[in-house]
């Protein structure tokens, strides 16, 4: 469990969780493992319960690309009933959950999304977790002097060599029905690793396709493929000083020049002296890529950040459409809900 968490949360954050639960901490991952292994069975069980909750929360949250679909109450109720009726299928993902399947199982599983786990939240919301295997490619370049003589002799005349390694990893894509909010949310896992020809939109459609033919409301969403347009959120969130801190911003100035500005994680670009002076000097700007950070949310165990990005070319056309936003550092489902509530609110 700790080895899995090492790739999902930084150790300082985990230490804070352990402290809140009155559990011992350590200076690092290795030391914490040693402390747990040297403790009593009761202590190990207490650690396991807390770590399992942290891990499961991160499966539902973490860093994901979000798409939001607003529903009629009737469609929302229909989808909720449908979600209640289906169960995960037997698979290597199901057997290993909440941990990832091993590399051998991943290679044998393939790219098809399989319903692996269902979470029924206390308020009646239902999350379906779909897993599949994806592959990322690492390329390493070697000069002539870095390879063996046998390689040089076999490839005379070549000046550079590229080693390609394929690494399989597991995705945990989530689709959630929010009964009290009349909306459906799609969360695409590891969005930073998606490479052409696959897109975030493809992954969202794949989730609908996995449920296709079993619910008329789901089939309609699949056919329409029109989530909430998040383009208006870019300027609206940037302009509202009460909403978190602006950490990164790309914008077009009145002169049509393009600018990109970044501040440290503790600062708010909106209040940065040079940025403020620039805005006063040039007038109204047109943001097209913004990252907002919130330190905390009510009823959530953490804050989160969101990045909403549009192609710069969209500033010159009517009806610009942004179908997803990247949520990062959310530690539980409540943080995800809080961010998406803001996105929906500022989308109109």
* Position 188 confidence tier, pLDDT thresholds 50, 70, 90: very high
**If you average pLDDT over residues 5-28, what whole number do you get?**
88
pLDDT in tens, 169-185: 999 999 999 999 999 99
Task: With CA atoms as reference, report the closest residue to 102 among 87, 112, 90, 92.
Answer: 92
Residue pair 310/320 in contact (Cβ under 8 Å)? The answer is yes
77 pLDDT tier (thresholds 50, 70, 90): very high
- How many angstroms separate the CA atoms of 233 and 341, rounded? 12
H or E segment to which residue 160 belongs = strand 160-178
Residue 137: per-residue pLDDT: 87
Report which secondary-structure segment, H or E, holds 274: helix 273-282
Q: What contacts 19, CB < 8 A, 6 or more positions away?
A: 25
Q: In what order do the strands lie in the sheet with 304-309?
A: 114-120, 126-143, 160-178, 183-189, 62-70, 325-330, 304-309, 286-294, 245-252, 258-262
Say if residue 220's pLDDT is above 90.
yes
pLDDT digits (tens, 9 = 90+) for 81-135: 999 999 999 999 999 999 999 989 998 988 999 999 999 999 999 999 999 999 9
Is pLDDT of 35 > 90?
no
Nearest-angstrom CA–CA distance, 153 and 175: 54
pLDDT for position 212: 92
Closest of 135, 121, 38, 43 to residue 299, by C-alpha: 121
pLDDT at 6: 84
42-75 residue pLDDT tens: 888 999 999 999 999 999 999 999 999 999 999 9
pLDDT over 90 for what percent of the chain?
Answer: 67
Domain ranges of the chain: 2-60, 62-224, 231-346
Closest to 69 measured CA to CA, from 207, 199, 190, 234? 207
Kindly tell me if the per-residue pLDDT of 39 is higher than 90.
Answer: no
């Amino acid at each position: 469990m700790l080895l899995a968490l090492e790739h999902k949360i930084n150790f300082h954050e985990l230490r804070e969780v352990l402290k809140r639960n009155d559990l011992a901490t350590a200076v690092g991952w290795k030391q914490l493992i040693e402390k747990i292994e040297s403790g009593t069975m009761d202590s190990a069980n207490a650690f396991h319960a807390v770590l399992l909750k942290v891990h499961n929360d991160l499966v539902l949250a973490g860093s994901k690309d979000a798409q939001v679909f607003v529903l009629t109450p009737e469609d929302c109720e229909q989808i909720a009933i449908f979600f209640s009726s289906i169960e995960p299928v037997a698979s290597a993902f199901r057997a290993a959950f909440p941990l990832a399947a091993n590399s051998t199982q991943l290679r044998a599983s393939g790219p098809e999304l399989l319903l692996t786990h269902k979470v029924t939240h206390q308020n009646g919301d239902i999350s379906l977790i779909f897993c599949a295997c994806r592959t990322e490619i690492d390329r390493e370049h070697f000069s002539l002097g870095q390879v063996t003589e046998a390689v040089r002799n076999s490839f005379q005349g070549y000046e550079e060599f590229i080693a390609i390694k394929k690494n399989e990893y597991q995705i945990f894509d989530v689709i959630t029905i929010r009964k009290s909010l009349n909306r459906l949310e799609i969360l695409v896992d590891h969005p930073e690793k998606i490479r052409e020809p696959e897109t975030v939109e493809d992954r969202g459609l794949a989730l609908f396709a996995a449920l296709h033919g079993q619910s008329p409301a789901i089939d309609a969403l699949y056919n329409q493929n029109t989530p909430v347009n998040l383009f208006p959120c870019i300027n609206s969130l940037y302009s509202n000083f009460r909403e978190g801190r602006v950490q990164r911003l790309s914008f077009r100035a009145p002169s049509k020049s393009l600018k990109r500005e970044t501040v440290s994680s503790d600062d708010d670009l909106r209040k940065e002296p040079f940025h403020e002076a620039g805005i006063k000097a040039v007038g109204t700007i047109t943001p097209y890529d913004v990252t907002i950070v919130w330190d905390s949310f009510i009823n959530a165990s953490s804050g989160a950040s969101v990045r909403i990005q549009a192609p710069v070319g969209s500033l010159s056309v009517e009806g610009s459409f942004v179908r997803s936003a990247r949520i990062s550092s959310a530690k539980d489902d409540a943080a995800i809900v809080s961010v998406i509530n803001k996105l929906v609110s500022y989308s109109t």
